[in-house]
Amino acid sequence: MTAQASWRAALEGWRIPQEILDQAPESPWWFPPEAFAPDESRGLSVSHRRADEALPDGGSVIDVGAGGGAMSRPLRERSGRVVAVDEQKSMLDRCDADEKIEGRWPDVAPQAGTADVVVCGHVLYNVADLADFVTALDKAASQRVVVEITEKHPLTWTGPLWKRFWDLDRPDGPSWDDAVGVIEECGFHPEVESWEGERSIVGFHNHAGWAAFIRRRLCLPREREAEVEVALADVPPPSRRRLVTMWW
């Protein structure tokens, strides 16, 4: 089995059964934009430094899956042009970029064009066709591609919650090294740096807002939000998480 096929199969394990989706009052895949704003209190991360060192003064950046611009905003001071790409318009509305492109990568890659540096933060675990995705990242970058993901699938910690509310077992893969396998299979040879970062829920107004987000991800109705708050006290997300930066 190819690395791409293994990656796709691992992500398939996260598919929510249709009978659960049919009961969901709201889409579990929507993200609240306010929760994904850049955390201005933090300095440059490993990923920012790797992007910055390849960015010429006045150079250009494409931020794929930009969200609120967490990957590209720290590069604004030295860049001459930032293009933000995201599927969710409400994310782009909050993003500080010179050009905003709503759509799915790599479908909109031709609209984004090319840039000196292409950055992509916390998107890969949402991409089944990873080979096509990273090939398009590479094609768009003249100097460097910088990708940041969590060491493991970011929803791994929610496994006990799915078991508690739906008696559903969740997988614990894929992981960063599976992603590297696909990238190498595409003919690229990434440098890799692992580091530890604080898990941030900056942007949620309070823990009730966090519980509302997780309740929606669990496909539960609003009237069960209090139950989710109690469950999160028993199964809180880890306060810190292992992150991996890959660049080539």
Closest CA to 166 of 28, 30, 35, 11: 28
As a whole number of angstroms, the distance between CA 11 and CA 241 comes to 20
Mean pLDDT along residues 152-166 = 95
- For residue 106, cis peptide bond before it (omega within 30 degrees of 0): yes
Using one digit for the tens of pLDDT, what is the confidence trace for 32-78?
766 666 666 567 899 999 999 999 999 999 999 998 899 999 999 89
Q: Which residue has the higher pLDDT, 197 or 6?
A: 6
pLDDT class for 202, splitting at 50, 70, 90?
Answer: very low
169, with CB counted inside 10 A (0-12, 13-18, 19+), is: exposed
The residue ranges of every structural domain in the chain are: 3-247
As a whole number of angstroms, the distance between CA 36 and CA 103 comes to 18
Task: Identify which of 32-36, 208-212, 226-230 has the greatest average pLDDT.
Answer: 226-230
pLDDT averaged over every residue in the chain: 91
Q: Which CATH architecture has domain 3-247?
A: 3-Layer(aba) Sandwich (3.40)
Mean pLDDT along residues 210-234 = 94
Cα 126 to Cα 79, 98, 226, distances in angstroms: 28, 26, 28
> What pLDDT is recorded for position 39?
62
As a whole number of angstroms, the distance between CA 51 and CA 144 comes to 7
| Amino acid at the residue 77 | E
Tokens found for residue 80: 């001459």
Mean pLDDT along residues 140-168 = 96
> What pLDDT is recorded for position 236?
87
> What pLDDT is recorded for position 221?
96
Using one digit for the tens of pLDDT, what is the confidence trace for 78-133?
999 999 999 999 889 989 899 999 999 999 999 999 999 999 999 999 999 999 99
